[in-house]
């Protein structure tokens, strides 16, 4: 007895590739047809809640069959070229309207579907098939215009991604996938405005709008390269030590944005000030170091480039999550009429001396220096060199070899600053990058404290 995919082929009378090719003249429709084939195949292979899955498969199959029949009825070329063009134009308009209706009906089914979507994808048995089915759902969701159906479909897709611990296949997010909750930023800085937002009508997110960048082809290509890195980090870490990026948006307004998971507890520096006596600082510091280790041990290594308390978020469980890695480099690459010093002035206090040396190039050892300054910041509840108001004056002192003095207040000692931890801090902010420990060596030292 033939399998379901074979039955579909027998009924439609053509191989999948040939059918998909027939729709290539209508932008985006060939991809939609391929998506329908994926859904049909997976629905009929599902091992859980088969009846509901079968109903969804039948809906997709009927849509496929209807599309195929309409394609067979399309006007063919004749000797009257002008007449043929007019007839073809009217046919395409009518065809597009019917397709939109059909896809709307399918989307409505997906938006209210009672089957376990996770099971459908899990039964795909391989990463490629799982990726294709997620692509299918995302493409169908993007074609839906009716707000209620689109909202339900987005929520189902969000739940599916959560259950599978996956991200959307296309991380260049559209306005239907991300929206701001307010036109007023919740925080602002020289380089970034931060807004609250909603992702796939389900998850609260942080939208970071880059103030010094504009939307153009170079910006798009730069983000597309960065997405590959975000995806690699996500697959390795799954949000344990690194704050997940959901994607970027370059169509919502005039400035590009990055989208990341919202953390109610805020940044590490604000968290320690609010919950001081409830925090195990050594556990917090080690968690931060483990996040840096994830980045540094990627192949090739990833340099954070702007490590400080503000760029470490705290999860609901109280664990640190490294945020905004590589963002400084993105801003530098796509910045509009902004100098390196102007864009990173706020981070001078955490920067290693080599960053100020002629042509700055950030490396993993520069992150180690910044880690030491971040530990100092969290233990003292103050930014490094807090007695100096001007950031530019700090850079001169750093290059000259000046470092913050050891604090001796009872509060800082109570938080865990002993001789061993101070010794590690001073090792990490050595002027010579080669004399600083690697992140693995730093974690080994932390384990002994």
Q: Assign 194 to helix, strand or coil.
A: strand
- Output the pLDDT for position 80: 47
As a whole number, mean pLDDT of residues 21-43 equals 53
Q: Assign 406 to helix, strand or coil.
A: coil
Tally Cβ neighbours within 10 Å of residue 250.
19
pLDDT at 256 over 90: no
Q: At which residue do the structure tokens 């729709």 appear? A: 23
As a whole number, mean pLDDT of residues 78-103 equals 49
Q: Which residue has the higher pLDDT, 29 or 412?
A: 412
321 phi and psi angles, rounded to 5 deg: -130, 120
If 0-12 CB within 10 Å is exposed, 13-18 middle and 19+ buried, where does residue 449 land? middle
CATH of 178-261, one of 3.30.200.20, 3.90.1640.30, 1.10.260.40, 3.40.50.300: 3.30.200.20
pLDDT at 328 over 60: no
**Is domain 268-448 annotated with CATH 1.10.510.10?**
yes
Beta bridge partners of 261: 205
The residues, any chain, with a CB within 8 Å of residue 51's CB and separated by 6 or more, are: none
Per mean pLDDT, which range of 240-249, 354-363, 410-419, 428-437 is the poorest? Answer: 354-363
- Output the pLDDT for position 4: 44
As a whole number, mean pLDDT of residues 378-388 equals 95
Q: Assign 249 to helix, strand or coil.
A: strand
Q: Assign 313 to helix, strand or coil.
A: strand
pLDDT at 417 over 90: yes
- Output the pLDDT for position 318: 96
Q: What is the pLDDT of residues 128-139, one digit of tens each?
A: 667 777 887 788
- Output the pLDDT for position 7: 46
CA distance 180 to 153: 19
Q: At which residue do the structure tokens 């991604």 appear? A: 161
Read off the tokens for 317: 């469980």
CA distance 16 to 323: 43
Read off the tokens for 221: 């290509």
Beta strands in 148-256 (DSSP E): 178-180, 187-188, 192-199, 203-210, 245-249
* Eight-class DSSP state of 177: T
Question: Quick one: pLDDT band at residue 299, thresholds 50, 70, 90?
Answer: confident
Average pLDDT, the chain: 77
Read off the tokens for 189: 């800085």
What sign has the CA pseudo-torsion 98, 101, 103, 109? negative
As a whole number, mean pLDDT of residues 38-44 equals 57
Say if strands 192-199 and 312-314 run parallel, antiparallel, or are unpaired: unpaired
| CA-atom Rg of the chain in angstroms | 27
Please, where in the chain does CATH 1.10.510.10 lie?
A: 268-448
CA distance 56 to 117: 11
């Amino acid at each position: 007895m033939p399998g379901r995919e074979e039955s579909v082929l027998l009924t439609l009378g053509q191989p999948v590739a040939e059918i998909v090719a027939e729709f290539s003249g209508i932008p985006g429709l060939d991809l939609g047809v391929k998506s329908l084939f994926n859904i049909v195949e997976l629905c009929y292979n599902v091992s859980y809640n088969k009846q509901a899955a079968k109903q969804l498969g039948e809906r997709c199959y009927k849509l496929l069959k209807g599309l195929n029949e309409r394609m067979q009825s399309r006007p063919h070329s004749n000797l009257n070229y002008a007449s043929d063009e007019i007839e073809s134009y009217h046919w395409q308009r009518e065809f597009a309207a019917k397709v939109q209706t059909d896809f709307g009906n399918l989307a409505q089914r997906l938006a209210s579907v009672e089957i376990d979507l996770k099971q459908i994808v899990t039964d795909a048995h391989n990463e490629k098939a799982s990726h294709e089915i997620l692509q299918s759902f995302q493409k169908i969701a993007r074609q839906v215009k009716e707000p209620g159906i689109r909202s339900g479909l987005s929520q189902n897709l969000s739940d599916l991604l959560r259950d599978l611990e996956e991200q959307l296949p296309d991380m260049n997010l559209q306005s239907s996938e991300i929206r701001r909750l307010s036109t007023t930023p919740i925080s602002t800085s020289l380089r970034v405005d931060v807004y609250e937002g909603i992702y796939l009508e389900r998850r609260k997110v942080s939208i970071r709008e880059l103030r010094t960048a504009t939307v153009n082809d170079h910006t798009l290509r730069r983000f597309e390269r960065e997405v590959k890195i975000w995806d690699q980090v996500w697959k390795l870490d799954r949000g344990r030590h690194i704050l997940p990026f959901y994607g970027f948006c370059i169509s919502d307004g005039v400035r590009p944005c990055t989208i990341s998971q919202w953390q109610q507890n805020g940044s590490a520096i604000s968290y320690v000030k609010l919950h001081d006596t409830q925090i195990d600082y050594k556990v917090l510091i080690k968690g931060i170091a483990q996040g840096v280790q994830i980045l540094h041990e990627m192949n090739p290594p990833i340099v954070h480039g702007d490590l400080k308390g503000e760029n470490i978020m705290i999860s609901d469980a109280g664990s640190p999550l490294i945020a905004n890695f590589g963002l400084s480099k993105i801003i530098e690459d796509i910045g509009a009429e902004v100098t390196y010093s102007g864009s990173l002035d706020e981070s001078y206090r955490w920067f290693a001396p080599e960053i100020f040396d002629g042509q700055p190039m950030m490396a993993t050892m520069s992150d180690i220096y910044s880690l030491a300054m971040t530990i100092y910041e969290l233990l003292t509840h103050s930014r490094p060199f807090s007695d100096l108001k001007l950031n530019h004056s700090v850079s001169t002192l750093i290059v000259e070899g000046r470092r913050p003095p050891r604090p001796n207040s009872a509060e800082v000692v109570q938080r865990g600053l002993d001789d061993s931890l101070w010794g590690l801090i001073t090792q990490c902010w050595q002027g010579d990058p080669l004399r600083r420990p690697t992140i693995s060596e730093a974690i080994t030292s932390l384990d002994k404290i």
